[in-house]
Amino acid sequence: MMKRLMISGAMLILIVSCKQNNAVVTSVGLSEKIPVKVVTAEKMKFTPFIELSGTVFAAREANLGAALPGRVEKIYFAEGSKVKKGDLLVSLSGELYAQALTQHISAEKDFERVTRLNEKGSITQQDYDHVKALYDASSTNVAMMKKNTEIVAPFSGTIIENLVQEGENYFFNFNLDPGYSSTSGIIRLMDLDHLQVETEVNEKDLSQIHRGQEALVYFDAEKDSIITGKVLAIKPVLSTITHTATVKIEFKNISGTIKPGMFAHVKIKMVPVDAIAVPLNAIYRQSGTSDDYLFVADNNKVKVLQMITFLLLITIK
């Protein structure tokens, strides 16, 4: 199919409407006749787009750790393993849990004893409430300590990295990889089935972008792969340095070949507009300049129209 240039509908009256044929016309200001080919300008719908670049990130990411320091006893999944929500990932040392459980057993016996005395009226309400409060606090402490001896997956995903190895002590280790989560953890978990591209959009283009808008995503590393995604979020504030806003485009990683950290190209589709199409070879660029011109046949004479008056000029196939 012939390459064409899209020209805004505002220029319709300046382009001759005649079927493609061979003709002889006279250029303005010259008497000689030069044979040229005249082509009909076509009116059609055109969907413009904003072309951006960005970086791929996981839709969800978490560095999983415990609220209390401890020794890593067992890691149940190797790096690269896929896990489901609720799977047990890591077991930590349980000394504090064992201590809390012992104290809880004692508190439970005291509570059972005062409960029987309270039923007989042999104990004051104040003494009963005091023992019950100690029992309730012990129950909460046991649950918390047990929770800090096990790490389970909060969502389905892939084990990216073991930040602490078996036998090592966990002391709130921070991840220092730029661009990823820097929170403390033992296991780094990512959802690689759903990915996002984060890109920066200039303030003059933000009004044309909205949530749910369709976007095409493609990659230098996957030249034959074009994925359809949609705008997920638009940051409500702009950078005071670049005057751009971060826009997130989400897509499904069906092939599994797209990885976080990849460089991505994005084309966000705009609202379709009416446009006029002419062949690419109808456009002439003056040598040594960036000025483009269009040759227009009008009453068997060729006129040159400078393209700076056009509102829209985009090359398509």
DSSP alpha helices (H): ranges in the chain?
95-120, 125-147
Q: Which regions of the chain carry the CATH code 2.40.30.170?
A: 50-59+194-269
Q: What is the pLDDT of residues 225-243, one digit of tens each?
A: 889 999 999 999 999 999 9
Dihedrals φ, ψ of 114, to 5°?
-70, -25
pLDDT computed for residue 237 by the predictor = 94
Is 0.85 surpassed by the pTM of this model?
Answer: no
SS3 label, residue 20: coil
Structure tokens at 222: 């996957």
Q: What is the pLDDT of residues 92-115, one digit of tens each?
A: 876 676 677 788 888 888 888 888
Look up residue 207 and give its amino acid: S
Q: What does CATH list as the number for 50-59+194-269?
A: 2.40.30.170
Q: Which regions of the chain carry the CATH code 1.10.287.470?
A: 94-148
* Burial class of 236 by CB neighbour count within 10 A (0 to 12, 13 to 18, 19+): exposed
CATH architecture of 94-148: Orthogonal Bundle (1.10)
Give the CA dihedral 77, 79, 84, 89, nearest 10 degrees: 40
